[in-house]
Amino acid sequence: MLSSEQLTKLATALGGLPVLGCRPGSPAARAGIRYGDVVLSVNGVPTPDWATYVEARHSRARDMKVAIFRGGEELTIELVFDSAPIDTAGWLDYLTGADELD
């Protein structure tokens, strides 16, 4: 398994974004995206940086198609979003590790 530093270098070389994890139960986790994947494009738009990812992600409201690099292959995965709004505060706590301090 690649370290996060190695994965980030690989993603940069491929012009994509490293997947360092998925929130359990999230649309990405349910679709099978996992640590070590590299997001190459979203809805057909290359994702070399997070700003481009966010813009491409918002081009479709209910789902998105994600091209990833995994194990030497490019795969396309479709994510279906929940109808419930995102818990932004909870998501930020998860990303910063604050939810583990409780």
CATH number of the domain encompassing residue 79: 2.30.42.10
Query: What is the pTM for the complete model shown?
Result: 0.77
What proportion of the chain, given as a percentage, has pLDDT over 90?
58
Domain coverage including residue 36: 4-100
- How many domains does the chain divide into? 1
pLDDT score of 87: 61
* Residue-wise pLDDT tens digits, 84-101: 555 666 666 777 776 554
Stretches where the chain sits below pLDDT 70 are: 83-92, 98-102
Helix (H, G, I), strand (E, B) or coil at 75: strand
Q: Encode burial over 48-80: b for 16+ CB neighbours within 10 A, e otherwise.
A: beeeebeebbeeeeeebebbbbeeeeeeebebe
* C-alpha dihedral, 22 to 34 to 46 to 43, nearest 10°: -80
CA distances from residue 57 to 24, 85, 97, 99 in whole angstroms, order as listed = 19, 15, 24, 25
